[in-house]
Chains A and B, each alone.
Chain A
């Protein structure tokens, strides 16, 4: 009976978890393609000669968890060592999602400077060492002056306290 439950959970993780992951990667590719002209840099300065109209802080974050099947594989890996491939894709898609949300939180920005990532472990259960993780991306969103600039008066999101 217990064996059947574990088998069902494994299959559920493999099928549903796998399909969620594939859909997420497809969605990420589309959004990354749509926003590819808005460059993200980890530099603090850029050589662009255009005058800056506005600078603001942009943040994006996501909390993501792995599926039961991957946790099971990871438990085996912890015995023999080696790369945890399931967890690597989990972190990759979380990081890309956080970055994408950061870009989408500043739709008027032309450029993002000094972009940093932070990883924060949420679940600390002993059985799933890397079950749930928060990925957080932040940077400075820059908007250059347009020739007919009428959006200079857009208030900063930090002006009003909610």
Chain B
């Protein structure tokens, strides 16, 4: 599965469009990470726990999107976009969407 965020797949030709595909996940942060983050807030710097949490969620959203594209018989997704929103205090939704296509 080839993913790009431009309207083509460089080096290949699009032969068929399969429509919009999307994948999303909603994750909550857990209390241990929150306490560490609270401490880190005093001195500043990277919060590795959160970086990993959001990276995992994003990978999950991408995996769900590619699964959907595979079911449609596509072998590439173009114009991939991401959207993030807080749905509740301490929980966020990560959404990935794009256009499934068949390339040769």
Q: Using known A-B contacts A52-B10, A65-B44, determine if residue A132 contacts B5 with beta carbons closer than 8 Å.
A: no
The B-contacting residues of A in range 13-40, CB under 8 angstroms, are 13, 16-17, 20-21, 24
A134 CB within 8 Å of chain B: yes
1/0 per residue, CB under 8 A from A, across B29-43: the answer is 000000001001111
Contacts A61-B51, A63-B54; A140 near B43 (Cβ below 8 A): no
**How many residue pairs bridge A and B at CB < 8 Å?**
132
B45: A residues at CB distance < 8 A = 17, 20-21, 24, 64-65, 67
B3→A61 contact, CB < 8 A: no
Given known pairs A55-B11, A161-B67, the reply for A118 and B82 (CB within 8 Å) is: yes
Main secondary structure of the interface of B (DSSP, over half): mixed
Residue among B3, B48, B82, B84 making CB contact with A56, cutoff 8 Å: B3
Residues of A within 8 A of B50 (CB): 63, 122, 132, 134
Q: Is B100 an interface residue (CB 8 A)?
A: no
In the assembled complex, the Cα of A125 lies from the Cα of B40 at a distance in Å of 15
